[in-house]
Each structure stands twice: as C-alpha cells, then as structure tokens.
Structure 1
Amino acid sequence: MRIPVELAETVAAVVDEGTLDAAARRLHITPSAVSQRIKTLEEQLGRVVLVRSKPARPTEAGTAVVRMARQVALLEHDTLAELGDDSSPDSRTTVPLAVNADSLATWFLEPLARLSAQHPVVFELHRDDQDFTAGLLESGTVMGAVTSRSTPVAGCRVSALGAMRYEAVATPAFAERWMPDPDQPATLAGAPLVDFDRRDDLQTRWLRACGIDEALPTRHYVPASSDFASAVRLGLGWALLPGFQSSSGLDGGELVRLGGPPIDVPLHWQQWNLRSPLLDAIAHEIVAEGRRVLRPLDTGR
C-alpha cells in the first residue's frame, strides 16, 4: 500500500487550517475536492483519518499521515535546495515549532529572525507550557520544540539548551504592604500572587519551599508572558519572573526581590530525527542562542 503525497498534504492542510473550506482556499481547490481526497485516502487505508469537528482534528491514523506530509515537504525543500533550484524565489517552506511563553517573549525570536533571513522558510509557532510542548512533537503537529523534557520523544533527538532562572519579585510598595519583614518571605501568605494559568506551578513551588500553605494566597491569572510581567510591575501581585523580564526593573528600583529560593527551569530542544539541512540549521541557531543566554544546566544556585 502507498499513501499518495497529494492526499496526505490535503489532510495536513485541513488539520492546519481547521476546516475543509479553509484548506480548500489554501490548496486552491474546491471544498468538495478536499472532501473527496480525504474520503479516497480513508478508503485506501481502511481507517478514518479526520474527525469532522470544529476545528477538524486528526485521528491516530491521521496524525501519522500529517507527520508524513510534513516530512515529505521538508525533504522536498532540502532536495530542491541541494539541486540549486531558484525557479520560485518567493516560495517558502513552512516549519511548525512549539515553544513556551517565556522563551517566546524573551530570546526565541532572534534566532528565528536570523534563520528567516538566511533560508526560504516561514515559522508557524505553537505556544504552550514547556511541560506540554513535547506532546506536539509526538502528535506530528510540530517539527521541533523547546521543552522541559530531556528524554527524546520517539523519532526525535534532543539537545540541552540551559536553564531559565526565576526569582520571586514585586514592586517596592507591594512588598512594603504585604511583607513587612523583608527577611521573612512567610509573611507573604496573605498576599495576592499572579499565575500564568491554572497549570502554572512556579509560584506554588516557591510557596512550598518557603513553608507557606499554597492554599492561602489569592491568585490572579494572566495568560500572556509580557502581560504577566506587566501585572507584577503594576503591583497586581507578586510572582516569579525570569531575569530577562526582571533585571531592568530590579536595577531601576521598580522591583525588589522577595527572597526565598530561585527556581531553575531546564529547557531542551527536541526535533525530528531526520537528515535535513534545514532542520539542522534551525537546531544550530536555536541551540546556540539558548546556550548563550540561558544558565548552564549544571550551574548551582
């Protein structure tokens, strides 16, 4: 049995765009043609590849087909580059990547900008918590991911990036109000804090390390990295911020450290284990930048 590339690309387009109509516009065919292609593939495989929901999502079989389509597109790009093909200078290969919010807001875009200037590539970024980005690799949604997971995802290879260090900070006025004894972080028990979302456990980990009941503080939820940092700078609550986002405020007196232990979040780069000059170039830039700006993973506190 063979899977026609055109049919696999159609499934990937539907998954990317969310609907058959949107995939049809991308592929420059009619929605009925998209539907027919998917039906043909499902008949050939004897399996359903797409759940017709809104947005459409792949089944387990469909996930494998989408992964195949992305790998074929990548290999096609590398082959054309090797052949020196320049007949379509405006044609760019789409590379989906996953990254955690704090990396995206601080250091991750610089290597992508360099790559975009050097290669005919556009990036589709998926933002998620570093503990969950590896799942996007497993599903074939992305080709590479910044993740806290050091064990390689099946079919992927991993490189250490470094650790992002977080420290508990607040405005001086907030600290004076809620933490009258600057040497006793435990006095913060009644102070409101800021969480990114309900999966964010950094503040909870800090509370536990300081011997504070995690159920005591009230919590704001601000699910955007730059807005999260702004909420702290505006005095909405205290939180742990990476040095990228707190250093200028600390130097300028707009923020103060609250004490307690810093928390280091290890980050790794994982990507499909394919022989691909483009993927290798992406890994080289991202890993080099991560190792330049992040703390070495073996550095003590």
Structure 2
Amino acid sequence: MRVKNLRRLAARLGAIGGDVVISSENFSFFFEPENVNALAEALRPVFDEIRIICYLRRQDRHVISHHQEGAKLNRAAEYDLFGHSTLAIPPYREHHRLYLDYHAKLSMWADAFGEENLILRIFDRRLLRNGDVTDDFFHLLGVRNFVRVPDRNLSSGFQRSKLGHLVLAGGFRHTPGLLNLVASFEESGRKMRPSRAAAEAYYAHFAESNAALNARFGISPNPGLFDEDFSDYPEEAEDIWDEERAGETCMKFLQALDDVYAELSPAFVLRAADLLAGEDPALARSLLRMAVRLRPMAGDIADRLADLEASD
C-alpha cells in the first residue's frame, strides 16, 4: 500500500499548524521500504520533529482479532492476508509475516525516520495507562482533555464469525445482503477461541523476530518482547462446530430469513408486479421472477410470468 499523493498530504498536514497527529490503520499495510522512505521524505521538509507511535499486540491475539474482522464486509486486506478459514486462527502462511513480523516492519520505519523517533508500546491492558489504549495514547501526547466515543469495533463472536467467513468464501451474488442477515444475529456470548496448543504454535512463528525487535529497541523486560503466558486459552479448542452450536446458528439464520419473508410475501410481490405491468414491464418481470422463487410450486405465478414475457 502507498499514499497516492504524498506531497499533497504533507502540505495539508503542514497547513494545520502546531502539533499534528495523524493516525491510520493503513500505515500498517506499508510492506515495502520505498513506501515508508517516500513518506519520510515528504514529511521532513514540513515538520521539525516526527514521532512514530506504534502499539504491538502478541501475534496470536492479534491474528484472532484481525481474522474476525475479515468476517465482515469490505475488509479486502484481511481477506487477502488471512483468507476465510472458519477457525479462530487461520492456518499459518508465510505471507502472514508481511503484517505480523514486527521486527521487519518496524525496522523499515526506524531506518526511514530514525530509531530514536519510534515510540513502541505493548498492547496489553495490564501495561497500559488505566488499562486503556486511548488513555495511554493521549498520555504519551501530553493531552489531558479529550472526548471519548463509544467503541464501535466490537468482535463478531462465534456465530457471526463462522457464518461471515462462509458467506464471503462462497462468492454469492448477494453477499452484502447475506452479511446483513448475519450481522442481525444476537450472539450467544460464545467466543471463537483456539486451543492453547494452536495459539502457541502460531505465536512460535514470530518468536525469533520478536526477540530481535526487543534487542534492538529495548521495549520490554521480557527477552521475547511479550509475556508467554497462554493460560487464558482453553485446553480444547472452542472454535469448532458441534451439533448444538451448528443447530443454534442454523436456527438463527433461518429466523433472520423468516423475518425477511414476513415482509416479502408472494402476494405482496404479485400485487406490485400487477401495478407495474403496464408502466414498467421489465421491473414487473423481475418481481414475478422473485415471486416464482418465493413460491416455486405455484404454477399460476409461472404462467403469469410466461404471459408477460410473451407479450414483449
């Protein structure tokens, strides 16, 4: 990823005056040194000092959260990175390192902006000011008065994550509509949690990189950067379908469909088609095709559709 017009971005930021804070998740998708270098070169003539603040989450926890985001609409980066596995942690692939190899990624930023200008923090509530990343971030900036907004980026949970990935993997013609149905579910409270062994195995791919990052920047008293306590995971995976969970999820999806059909009865569609037959035959035909799908065994609806098509 890159910024299309770096000079314009730098000029607009400089025009604000004073201290400027710019934050974007998209910066974490800068995978090539030349893109980071180009950003640094554009900003240096405009600002006297530039600081890079980055919060680092242990990779097993990070990938679980990020992969759940990939069960939602319009998350192309997550689709490309992690695919649509219905497990809490997707199978490891080498290209996951583009996003989760923090040593390789932050070395690019340190080389471009200067090692002394990076402020690296561990994303762990036990280590954050007041256990809150917002408080921690503004404390680093020296900002004391700020307005909180509700957290809108809530995790999907077991059922919405599972079905969301299945819908997106299916390549359906009406993916947005199906995902809206999934999003309407009231979650059971169950979480998508991998087994302890699965979390440890995924994390192990990045242990050497984490240690190298900590050796360079001295971020944490833990030699490996993060604590390596995996006791919050269950021994047995809690991201696998069983009869109870599958049945409960199917019932919720069927209930959501039932709610749609309650408003979209064949009689309603037929009435709308009749009203439009003279004014907009093409739309009337579309409505009749919908009525046929709603009631495929009703021969009279199919006959009316055939009559309308024959009259063209």
TM-score interval, smaller chain: under 0.3
TM normalised by structure 1 equals 0.21
TM normalised by structure 2 equals 0.21
Higher relative contact order (CA 8 A, sep 6+): 1
Which of the two has greater helix per residue? Answer: 2
Which of the two has greater strand per residue? Answer: 1
Q: Which has the larger radius of gyration?
A: 2
